[in-house]
Structure 1
Amino acid sequence: MVWTSAGCAVGFGALAIVAGSRHGATALDSTVWRFLLEHRTHTLNSVMKAVTAAGSGVVLTPLAVIGAGVAGWRARSWLPAVFVAVTTVGVSLLTTAFKILFARPRPPAALAEVTAGGWAFPSGHAANTTAVVGVLAVVAWTQLTSRRARWLTTGVAALVVLAVGTSRLYLGVHWLTDVAAGYLMAGCWLAAALATLGPYCLGRDRHPAHAVTTAEPTAAHDEAGHRDGTGTEESGRGC
């Protein structure tokens, strides 16, 4: 996780340099924006507006609160909720700070399908969706016992994050580098939180499956003891 965080930080730094040196869009930003503008349809407009709404604070904030509560209840500890709060609030604050710092203009508002306020870099929808959905997927991974359920949760989370970022590009309210920066910044913070706080807030000793896995060797040992006569009950040396 440390290397993942470092890699995301390097990627975000590179995009930040680009955003800082070019106050407007890069050539790639303009190409992607123009392509999506030319391929808009009425149906896709409606779909993308619904998707982008899912990445708004009106949806993400209650989702984070409910997810943190459920995680804490399942783990019988408030530490998973702390992990969720640190991750989501941290990303939200960083997003606001970087937007003010870089003050990068958005694509032309006259050609956007939705109204968006504030600066463009990094994308708040991309960053906050990555933080909220990502951290809930991480917490779910530690609490789910089924491998299929774990991977299904991870896959759905990845699709949601990708869909929200794509919707911001399609609707014309962000450049490609804005969305990529949002992903990388949130990924960096999430990986750093997982590396530093994860062992304490999501410790395996609070995982229901841990009791099962630790009990299995004991049962196997007792059974072996009965067979070879070294068990406490059959050897007669039990207390």
Structure 2
Amino acid sequence: MAPLRPFLARVEAKTLLAVLLTAAALWTFVGLADEVAEGDTHAFDESLLLALRSPTDISDPLGSPAIETAVRDVTALGGVTVLTFVTLSVMGALAIRRHGRSALFLGVAVAGGQALSHFSKTFFDRPRPDLVPHGTEFVSTSFPSGHSMMAAVTWLTLAVMLARAEPRRRMKVYWIALAALVAVAVGVSRVYLGVHWPSDVLAGWTLGAAWALLCLLAARWLSRRGDIEPERGGP
């Protein structure tokens, strides 16, 4: 450890924490991918998917029709249309705050996450669940969940960029907690609607969180170089 002490002394605690969390998220994703490839998640996936269905009729999700409608509304928060609109809106807000370079960084970060999601789904090419009827339309393969991943990528990256421009610590925590809540809700909705296995959603969350954390580290590095606006307020 002695040779590492000068390096660790120069690294801020929150940067080191972000690096460790990124590594943990990527390690979890790789482990999930390996388990899925070997078929070891089948029992877990099937039992959790059926737990959200009526015991007497697996074609019927738990809850009233109003709940099913609400879940479809929630799942749209991870869709391309909503995420594009919200991303452009936040980019505009950052530009109005004279954080134009941060706005550009945000656009590149979200677009990069979308490209990673598309590549991952194409690479793994896992079929969608056929155990229960699907509660909404889909156009791509199953692993990882694109909605779950892009919800984590987009909402967490949006929250990080808004938090960097926010001087008050409470608001920083609020934006990030809200983003995490939305990402979790979107993932749960995909399983509820029967269009993803639970392992798809877990993989989407972990890979999306890893990308968002990498974007945070990149933003801090670019800020130190003066390439984007510095963070306001405390960490």
TM-score bracket, normalised by the shorter chain, equals 0.7 to 0.9
Q: Cα distance, 1:209 vs. partner?
A: 4.8
Structure 1 position 101 matched with structure 2 position 123: yes
Aligned partners of 1:111 and 1:172 also within 8 Å: yes
Q: Point out 4+ residue stretches in structure 1 off by more than 6 angstroms.
A: 202-205
State the Cα deviation string for residues 125-159 of structure 1 (Å, max 9, x = none): 01111111101111121111222222222222121
Q: Cα distance, 1:110 vs. partner?
A: 5.7
Q: Secondary structure at the match of 2:199?
A: helix
Which residue of 153, 169, 187 maps to 1:147? 169
Please tell me the root mean square deviation across aligned C-alpha atoms, in Å.
2.2
Q: Secondary structure at the match of 1:172?
A: coil
* Number of residue pairs the alignment of both structures matches: 208
Instruction: Read off the aligned partner of 1:36 and give its amino acid letter.
Output: L
Instruction: Read off the aligned partner of 1:37 and give its amino acid letter.
Output: R
Structure 1 position 4 matched with structure 2 position 60: no
Aligned partners of 2:223 and 2:230 also within 8 Å: no
Which residue of 76, 80, 84 maps to 1:61? 84
Structure 1 position 37 matched with structure 2 position 58: no
Q: Aligned equivalents of 2:179 and 2:31: distance in 1?
A: 26
Which residue of 15, 24, 27 maps to 2:43? 27
Among the aligned pairs, what percent are the same residue? 29
Instruction: Read off the aligned partner of 2:169 and give its amino acid letter.
Output: R
Q: Cα distance, 1:54 vs. partner?
A: 1.9
Q: Secondary structure at the match of 2:52?
A: helix
Aligned partners of 1:92 and 1:128 also within 8 Å: yes
Structure (1 or 2) with the larger CA radius of gyration:
1
Q: Aligned equivalents of 1:52 and 1:96: distance in 2?
A: 18
Aligned partners of 1:80 and 1:201 also within 8 Å: no
Instruction: Read off the aligned partner of 1:159 and give its amino acid letter.
Output: L
5+ residue gaps, structure 2: 1-17, 55-60
5+ residue gaps, structure 1: 211-239
Normalised to the residue count of structure 1, the TM-score between the two structures is: 0.79
Normalised to the residue count of structure 2, the TM-score between the two structures is: 0.81
Task: Give the number of the structure whose residues are more often helix, by fraction.
Answer: 1
Structure 1 position 194 matched with structure 2 position 194: no
Q: Secondary structure at the match of 1:114?
A: coil
